[in-house]
A and B are shown apart, each in its own frame.
Chain A
């Protein structure tokens, strides 16, 4: 039983990690919590479904198109609503509220377009199950886990080994200095948004595949939990987000079976509040001192 829950949690948690990375990247570069992240996760699942139904098949192509579409949405969010706020030097809460508004717009547009009933989602990677001990593992889970881990490795490589990654890290440390060094900060920000949109889309599609449905509450619920994951690991810290995502996934799974399934969703929030109480910088974050 324990092993089963562990595996389930690990699978789900790896997808949480992807979305949590999105939060962390944007936070480290902009010091902004992108509340529309959950909406993009939801959009990813729905767009994949929509294209799949329109093309009457070709799952992988639908997936790919979805990634591009939501990537563009992510880019637009920054370009058309957040960049103007930056130019106006608006206070940070303005951007946060803006992303909440945008998340609301996206989620409700999806609801209006698709209706509010849960829709079934194909699982093209249903290759059966196998056993480990007394736990049953499906190949879908394995594929999800492998894909997520692969993506996490790719992101790490991008952030630590590429030029654009360096630019991102520089911007995260000091925006003005980066600008003075010739880094196109706006481009870096756009790319960060696109990457986080990619990750959200992929996570959204994978999870929809796993549960074989999409529902209208996807966005908000997962949005909150993955933010909690990012907080747990330390917002702005890459490996923190990964650790946080997987941990929350596992704790949720265990908590749901050993405590109560009704309160399952509360676990992530409770963890988040506890972390913010006792170690606000998260497990891997550094304490910031305010300059006077």
Chain B
């Protein structure tokens, strides 16, 4: 039964993607309340970030706890450029991508020769250091006061005033990210990234400079998080260092672990489920991190590759074509 469902999904994956985006497009028509739109917008933003993180943690197998740092760098870049210098959103998004990318290049050059668990911890340390810089560099970031009155997003003079407009913007950003990540991971680049996860020494024996590819993957991941951060700053219109903590980084990793490692649908599942769930369980807000802790431990013990982790639609399609050949 499950096999039939998976086969169906594999063969019709384009159609299903189309259906999802159709639903997402029509969502604001049926669910107009600002609260619902906000939750939906946040879900989409976190999906974007999860896709980025999945490249490094899911496909490449290098657990990173630095996501909040890059997200924060993107957010602060946007906040500072718009409040201090009045730049328009297009420049701001590009700048956020660049600063986040540079930060990850710096981190990557320092750190990507390290083995798995050391890398994980250094990214966590990096996240803390970035947070402390955000907290203490008063002249740049106003420290604990945060940055207020961040202007709303505007492209070429058109202001994105309503929640619906912002929702569509993040939907577009997510669609672009999904397209890019899918194409990259199913290409020559993606094969190398996956092979690094499987056996880096074997990959090197093929003449491939794995360190270079790891850095490239990290940069793409950071850029995605940075752009999401720029959106976040202009959407929330206020940011401070408490929003970009190591805990956030851990939450993002949980989204990947829960939804599915190295899986695009898995990223959607993990991000949307774990963004919507706390809203549904509003009364249990204080239990949120506790529940996350349990999810982490349980997932890693019972199904470490995540709910949709082992499902590779392309492999399924190939098997189907083999069965058809036999007939």
Contacts and interface: CB of A to CB of B under 8 A. Distances in A.
Interface of B is mostly: helix
A227 B65 CA distance: 16
B246 A272 contact: no
B242 to A, nearest CB: 12
Given A85-B301, A105-B293, A290-B201, A270 B129 contact: yes
Interface string A66-106: 00000000000000010011001011111011101111110
Q: How large is the interface on A (under 10, 10 to 19, 20 to 34, 35 or more residues)?
A: 35 or more
Contacts, number: 110
Contacts of A88: 301
Contacts of B301: 81, 84-85, 88, 90, 94, 98
A260 interface: yes
B201 A272 contact: no
A228 B114 CA distance: 15
Interface string B246-285: 1000100100010000000000000000000000000000
B300 A108 contact: no
Contacts of A290: 201
Interface residues of B, number: 38
A104 B297 CA distance: 10
Interface string B132-154: 11011000000000000000000
A97 B125 contact: no
A101 B126 contact: no
Interface string B63-104: 100000000000000000000000000000000000000000
Interface of A: 32-33, 81, 84-85, 88, 90-94, 96-98, 100-105, 107-109, 111-112, 220, 224, 227-228, 231, 260, 262-263, 265-266, 269-270, 272-273, 276-277, 280, 290, 292
27 contacts: A81-B297, A90-B301, A91-B304, A94-B300, A94-B304, A96-B63, A96-B117, A97-B63, A98-B297, A98-B300, A101-B295, A105-B293, A105-B297, A108-B287, A224-B125, A260-B136, A266-B129, A266-B132, A269-B125, A272-B121, A273-B110, A273-B122, A273-B126, A276-B111, A276-B118, A276-B122, A280-B118
Given A91-B304, A94-B301, 14 more contacts: A85-B300, A90-B300, A97-B296, A98-B297, A100-B296, A101-B295, A101-B296, A102-B297, A104-B293, A105-B294, A112-B290, A266-B132, A273-B111, A276-B114
